[in-house]
Amino acid sequence: PMPEELLQRPKSKALDADNLEGLGPEAQKALKEAAAAKEKKQEEKSAKQAAKEQAKLLRQYRPEDEVDGRRKTSKKILANRGLVRQRKKQAGNAKVANRRKYEQRLKRRKGAVQDMREGATDGTYEGEATGVRTHLKKSMRLG
């Protein structure tokens, strides 16, 4: 909430912390606080900008210093991989790759072979749980 004095003052004259004549103590205090907040915000902004510039300088490429004799080999030079295509996560891990293959083959087999269902252990037969399909033949012709 702004004091009424600030709202009734003519707009032509610039209000700032240096030009406070003819204003009450509340208005002067409000203007001083606003000026202090503005200055603080500008300082924060300039500090943020400086930090950004510093980070930009750190990211820039800096060639190695020249020394007498042979230069040290970097990890990149020692690896000497060149251009290598991107691979899936499981490509480098044989255990994971074989596990995926096994799971796929199990799914494929479930479509071809029905799982064995165990009956009661006491020897009593209660019939097929899903019913007997009379039209279905799963035997193979020999000859």
Q: HSE on the CB side for 47, CA within 13 Å?
A: 6
Distance CA 143, CA 141 (A): 6
Spatial separation of the C-alpha atoms in residues 4 and 136, rounded to whole Å = 94
**Helices then strands (H, E): number in the chain?**
4, 0
Statement: residue 15 has pLDDT above 70: no
Average pLDDT of the chain is 83
Mean pLDDT of 119-130: 78
pTM of the complete model beyond 0.85: no
CB 17 within 8 A of CB 31: yes
Instruction: Check pLDDT > 80 for residue 139.
Output: yes
pLDDT in tens, 49-78: 999 999 998 888 887 777 788 878 888 888
